[in-house]
């Protein structure tokens, strides 16, 4: 069942990235479009490798790629999963380097949080995503949101430091958010 859902999810990611790569609103530049497609391909290949790896396949890992630099964000259950995710990503063709921003869940005795906490985190993630989508400063940015025990992590690339700061402020104002780990980066 995991493989089926993972395969369907991965197919959706590949289709979405291909669609986004083809919808550039700037004048056509074959070099930048080729790099965007390459980065999308690298990100999809890294995600596929993480899904196939027995240590990382059940983890909540987001993958962002810019100029061949892969950024891993989200939450894993153990330090071994965090290390393995970086190793797996670094072995994918086209990856220049890996920025491992993964956080290890801090459940009691190292175990994952209880289901009730996860459901609450899902609700917080949805509220933050909705707030970012309706904020004029953050609209149009590709921001990934992950939540663990009320701690929100923002990941992805934005156009300026002011957009980065605005997104952090918006996320921090959402009810239920204990703190914000703003890992957004300004795209060069």
Choose between 7 and 109: higher pLDDT: 7
Are residues 22 and 63 located together in one domain of the fold? Answer: yes
pTM confidence score: 0.53
Are residues 82 and 61 located together in one domain of the fold? Answer: yes
Are residues 84 and 54 located together in one domain of the fold? Answer: yes
E strands present in 91-150? 97-104, 142-148
Q: Given this model, what pLDDT does residue 27 score?
A: 53
Q: Residue 167 — pLDDT band, cuts 50, 70, 90?
A: very high
Domain of 99, CATH number, reads 3.30.1340.30
Q: Given this model, what pLDDT does residue 136 score?
A: 86
Angstrom distance (rounded) from CA 130 to CA 13? 20
Are residues 135 and 179 located together in one domain of the fold? Answer: yes
Are residues 45 and 132 located together in one domain of the fold? Answer: no
Are residues 117 and 160 located together in one domain of the fold? Answer: yes
Final residue of a domain: which of 109, 137, 163?
A: 109
Q: Given this model, what pLDDT does residue 109 score?
A: 44
Choose between 97 and 2: higher pLDDT: 97
Q: Domain span at residue 173?
A: 113-186
- Give me the chain's average pLDDT, please: 78
141-163 per-position pLDDT tens digit: 888 998 888 889 998 888 899 99
Final residue of a domain: which of 70, 87, 109?
A: 109
Whether the pLDDT of residue 91 is over 90: the answer is: yes
Are residues 96 and 118 located together in one domain of the fold? Answer: no
Q: Given this model, what pLDDT does residue 84 score?
A: 92
Q: Given this model, what pLDDT does residue 35 score?
A: 56
Average pLDDT over residues 1-21: 54
Whether the pLDDT of residue 108 is over 80: the answer is: no
Nearest of 108, 107, 97, 120 to residue 174 by alpha carbon? 120
Are residues 104 and 64 located together in one domain of the fold? Answer: yes
Q: Given this model, what pLDDT does residue 110 score?
A: 44
Choose between 29 and 95: higher pLDDT: 95
Residue with tokens 């993480």: 50
> Dihedral through CA 114, CA 2, CA 144, CA 12, nearest 10?
-160
Are residues 84 and 123 located together in one domain of the fold? Answer: no
Are residues 126 and 173 located together in one domain of the fold? Answer: yes
Nearest of 108, 99, 101 to residue 149 by alpha carbon? 108
Angstrom distance (rounded) from CA 10 to CA 13? 5
Domain count, the chain: 2
Read out DSSP for 25-57? -SPP-HHHHHHHHHHHHHHHHHHHHHHHSTTTT
């Amino acid at each position: 069942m995991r493989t089926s859902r993972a395969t369907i999810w991965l197919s959706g990611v590949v289709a979405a990235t291909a669609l986004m790569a083809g919808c550039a609103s700037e004048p056509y530049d074959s070099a930048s479009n080729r790099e965007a497609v390459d980065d999308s391909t690298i990100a999809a290949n890294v995600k596929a490798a993480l899904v196939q790896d027995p240590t990382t396949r059940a983890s909540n890992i987001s993958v962002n790629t810019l100029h061949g630099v892969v950024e891993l964000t989200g939450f894993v259950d153990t330090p071994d999963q965090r290390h393995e995710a970086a190793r797996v990503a670094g072995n994918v063709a086209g990856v220049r380097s890996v920025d491992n921003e993964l956080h290890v869940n801090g459940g009691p005795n190292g175990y994952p949080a209880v289901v009730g906490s996860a459901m609450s985190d899902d609700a917080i993630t949805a509220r933050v995503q909705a707030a970012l989508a309706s904020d004029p400063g953050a609209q149009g940015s590709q921001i990934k949101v992950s939540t663990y025990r009320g701690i929100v992590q923002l990941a992805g690339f934005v156009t300026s430091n002011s957009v980065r700061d605005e997104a952090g402020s918006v996320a921090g104002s959402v009810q239920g958010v204990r703190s914000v780990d703003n890992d957004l980066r300004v795209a060069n």
